[in-house]
A and B are shown apart, each in its own frame.
Chain A
Amino acid sequence: MKFQNKNNFSRRNFLKTSVLAGGGMLIGFNLLTACKPDAEMPVDIENLNFNDFNAFIKISDEGYVTIFSPNPEIGQGVKTSMPMIIAEELNVEWSKVNVVQGVLDTKNYKRQLAGGSQSIRFGWDALRQTGATTKQMLVNAAAIKWNVNANTCKASKGIITNSNGDKLGYGEVVKEAALLEVPEDVKLKKVSEYTIIGQEIVNVDIDKIITGKPLFGLDYKAEGMLYASVLRPPSFGQKLESFDATKAKKVAGVIDVITIGDKVRNFVKAGKNNWTFKLSETDKVVVIATNTWAALKGKKALSAVWVTDTKLESTQDHDKILTKVLDGKKQNIRREDGDVHKAFSKADRVIEKTYHSPFLPHNCMEPMNFYANVTAEKVHLVGPVQTPEYAASVVADMLGYDIDKVSLEMTRMGGGFGRRLYGDFVYEAAEISNAIKKPVKVISSREDDMTTGIYRPSIKYRIKASIKDGKVTGYHLKEAAVGGNMYGLIPNFFPAGCIPNYKVETGNYRGNITTGAWRAPYTNFLAFAEQSFFDELATELNIDTIQLRLDLLQNVKGTSDKSIQYSGQRMEDTIKLVREKANWGKTKDGVYQGFSAYYSHNTHVAEIAEIELKDGFPVIKKVVVAVDCGVVVNPTGARNQVEGGVLDGIGHAMYADFSFKDGKPSDRNFDTYRLIRMQETPKVEVHFVENELSPTGLGEPGLPPAGGAVANAINAALGKRMYSQPFVKELNDSSILS
C-alpha cells in the first residue's frame, strides 16, 4: 500500500475522503444508498463536493470528530443515535464527538426522510461500515508511518497503538489516511464489544434546548425577511369568491395583501401531484407584514366571501357512508387464507364487532411554518419538513426552476407525527415569496394548523371471528376509511398466519377532507380494534387473554410463508416479558389490568395497562411495556420514544375527538381540543427484550397497542367494552383526572 490521491473512494461503501485545507480529514458517505449494491456514484469525484454526499465525518488534527447527521430530527432522537453508531465503529470517545445537522442540497440527496420509524433500521449497516472503514484507514496510515503490518495495530478511544508500544492519535494521521485507498470488507464489531451503543447518551441538542437557543423553523430569521399569514377557506369544499383587505391594510406593520393559488392549482391540474394527499386548489388571501403579530392581526381584519366549490361534508354523513362501505360488497381483498365464509357457516359461535375512530389533527407543538426566498436566479427554502427532497422538487416544478437552483435547509422540528411529511406549507411559502420577490416566512396560527390539517382518516373496522370446538377458526376484518386504506404490509401482521381461515378487505370513501399519515398510520387505531376484539374473544372462550395470544402464535412459528411480517417467536418472547414484569393477574384488589400486543414498524411490543377506579371512573396508573426492537442503540432515547408513544396513544384514545359539520372542523385550538396533560398520565415502565438482532423502529411502535391495553383494563374494571374513540365519550364523562 502507498499514499495516492486518486480514486480514493469505495464503490461498495460509497465513501470518499479528502484532506481539508484548514487541517483534518473529511469523509463523505451516502447513507442509506450505501447498502445498495446498485447505488449510483457521483459522476465528478475529482474534488470532494459536499453535494455528492449526504453525510460527513470530519476528523480534526487534534482528533476531534464532527459528524454531520443527515436525517431530519423530529424528536425521535436520530441526531443522537445515528452518530453513536458511527462513533462506536470508529472507536472514538463520545466526549470527542460533536454532532451537527447536515446542510442539505436536495439535488444530490437520494433519500432523506423521517417517517415510518425507519432511520435506524436502514442506516444500521451503512453507519457501522462507515465508522469501521474510517477507523481502518486511520490504522492503515499509522501502520505505514511505523512501517509495520496494519494487522498488528489496534485503535481504541481515538488512539492507535502497535505491538512496539508506539502511539498515534487519530488527528496525527488524518492527512495521510485521507489519501489512502478505501479498504473493502472491514470487520464490524460484535455486539459484546460495544462501548458506545447501549450507553445512555443524552440528546446532543440538550444544551441548546434548555437554554432556548434558535433550533426550530419558527426561530429561523434572515436579512430582510417578512412574515406572512394565510387565510384559507373556513370549510373544506369551499373556494374564495372575493375579499376586502381595507381594514387589514390599516393594521400597523402590514405591508400588503395578495392572493396566491395559481402555482399550486396549475401543478395539480397538470396531474403532477403524485403524493397521496389532496392539495387545496382555491385561491388564498395572504397578509404580508413586518412581524408575526401584524401578520396574524391583519388576517383577522380581512373579510372574505367563500362559496361552495365541491361539497360540504359532515361527520354524520361520513358515519353513514362508512357503514355502507362495510355493508357493501365492493371491497378490495388484501389477503385471503382458507375460506372464512365456510368457517363461519360451520362455527359453534360467530362474534362480530365494529369499531369507530374519529378524524384527528396532528397538533405538532410548533405550528406549520416555512421560509422561502425566491429570486430570479434561485430558490432557498428553510424549515421543518419530513420530506425535504420531494418538497424541493415540487417547488422547482411549480415555479419553473431547475432542481439545481432549489436548495432546502432543514431545521429541527417541533414535532412531526406525520404532518410534516406533507409539504403544503413549503409550497405556500414558495408561492408567496415568488409573488413578492422577497424572503418570507409563512406562519400558521394554532387555529390555521388545526383547521386546515391533513387529518388521520376516520375509520371503521368490522371484525368477525368464528369459534369451533374452543378454537378460533376464522377471522374476517373489513376496513372502511375516509381517504386511503391501510398500507400493503398491514394485512400480513398478526393474526395473519395464526388462523387458518383469514381475510382482510378494505374499502374507502374519497371525500374532500384531506387525510394522511398520522403517527403509526392505520395501526394507531387498528391495533386498538383488533386487540380489544381478541380480549373479547378470550372472554368468549373463557381462557386467559394472554394465553389466547400465545396459543395462536404457535401456529405461525416456523411458517414458510414469506409474506408474514412479524415473528411468532419474537412476539411470544415480548409477551412473556411483559407478563412477567407486570405480574399479570397478581395485582392487589382494586387494580385492574388490560393486555395488548402489536407488531408494527418491524418492532414487537406488548403492553399491560393498570387502572384503578376513583369515584367510579377509571384512572390509568401504570403501563408496563416490553419491546423487541433488536439492539437498543441509546437506551435513554429509546425509552423516551416508547414512553411518549404509549402516552400519546393513551391520550388520543381517551380524549381526542374531532369532527366536521358542513365541511367545518369542530375544534380550532386547545381550549376545546383535549390533549393528554400531566395529571392524566400514568407511569410508563419500559423493558427491552435483550438480543443481538439488527435494530428496528421505535418512533411509532409503542403507540398502537396502548389504546387496546387501556380499553381492556377498563373492561376488567367496569365490564364495559370500548368500541369507539375517544373513550371519555363512551364512558359518558368528561373529567377523568386522577
Chain B
Amino acid sequence: MPNYTLYINGKERSVTADADTPLLWILRDELNLVGTKFGCGIAQCGACTVHIDGVAIRSCQMQVSILDDVKITTIEGLSADGKHPVQEAWKEIDVPQCGYCQSGQIMTASAFLEENKNPSEEEIREAMHGNICRCASYNRIEKAVKVAADKMS
C-alpha cells in the first residue's frame, strides 16, 4: 500500500493506506482522531465535516491520495483548549442531546463564520441545512451559531 503525508491540525502525519481510502477513515482508524464521525458515507449528513484549507468539507468523500497539498483541521484541532468561540457557544447554549453529530455541526459553523462574520438568521439556517441532527437540536444549533457570531465579531 502507498504511503501518504498529510498535514493535519498543524502536524505532518504519515499514513499507509489504499489510495481510495476516504479521509474519514484515515482520521478515525489510522490516526485515532475519532471526533470526526461516520454518519452516511455519501456526503448527505455532515457528521464527518472537517476543514480543508479552511473550507468545510465532507471527509467521507475525500480520498487520501489527493490531500498531499492541503491543510486539514479536525474538531480535535479547531482550538488548543476547546475554547473556539463556536465551541464556547455550544457549551453556553447546551446544544447537544446525544452529541454524535455535533463535531460536524461545529466544523460547519466555524468555517461558515470565518466567511460571514455577521450572518442573518436565514443565512445561518441555510449554512447549517446540510448537517442532520437526528435528535433535532436545531433550535439550539441556530442559537449557538448566533452567539458564536457575536463572540467573533
Give residues in A with beta carbon < 8 Å to B: 74-77, 200, 202-203, 205-207, 209-216, 218-219, 221, 227, 252-253, 291-294, 296-297, 363-367, 412-417, 445-447, 636-637, 640-641, 643-648, 651, 669-671, 675-679, 681, 683-684, 738
Contact = CB atoms under 8 A, between A and B. Distances in A.
Nearest to A216: B100
A216 B1 CA distance: 30
B136 to A, nearest CB: 4
Contacts of A637: 94
B139 A684 contact: yes
Contact of A648 (B44, B96, B135): B135
A678 B134 contact: no
Nearest to A703: B136
Given A206-B96, A212-B75, A412-B99, A675 B18 contact: no
Interface string B18-58: 10111001001110111111111110110100000000000
Nearest to A447: B41
Interface in B99-153: 99-103, 106, 125-126, 128-142
B97 A640 contact: yes
A203 B96 contact: yes
Contacts of A643: 136-137, 139-140
Given A415-B98, A670-B44, A644 B137 contact: yes
A681 B75 contact: no
Contacts, number: 186
A648 B136 CA distance: 6
Interface string B82-97: 1000010011001011
26 contacts: A74-B98, A75-B96, A75-B98, A202-B94, A205-B99, A206-B94, A207-B91, A210-B82, A210-B96, A210-B103, A212-B103, A213-B35, A215-B99, A219-B34, A221-B32, A292-B25, A297-B18, A365-B132, A366-B39, A415-B135, A636-B94, A643-B140, A644-B97, A645-B136, A669-B40, A669-B41
The 3 closest A-B pairs by CB, nearest first: A212-B35, A75-B98, A414-B100
A175 B100 CA distance: 40
A363 B18 contact: no
Given A202-B94, A206-B91, A678-B141, 9 more contacts: A75-B96, A205-B99, A209-B102, A210-B90, A216-B37, A292-B38, A293-B29, A446-B42, A670-B44
B97 to A, nearest CB: 4
B111 to A, nearest CB: 15
Given A291-B29, A446-B42, A678-B138, A75 B97 contact: yes
A200 B94 contact: yes
Contact of B98 (A367, A414, A447): A414
Contacts of B42: 446, 669-671
B137 A671 contact: no
Contacts of B142: 678, 681
Given A293-B18, A446-B39, A675-B132, A640 B99 contact: no
Contacts of A215: 99
B35 A211 contact: yes
B74 interface: yes
A216 B34 CA distance: 9
A524 B78 CA distance: 39
A212 B36 contact: yes
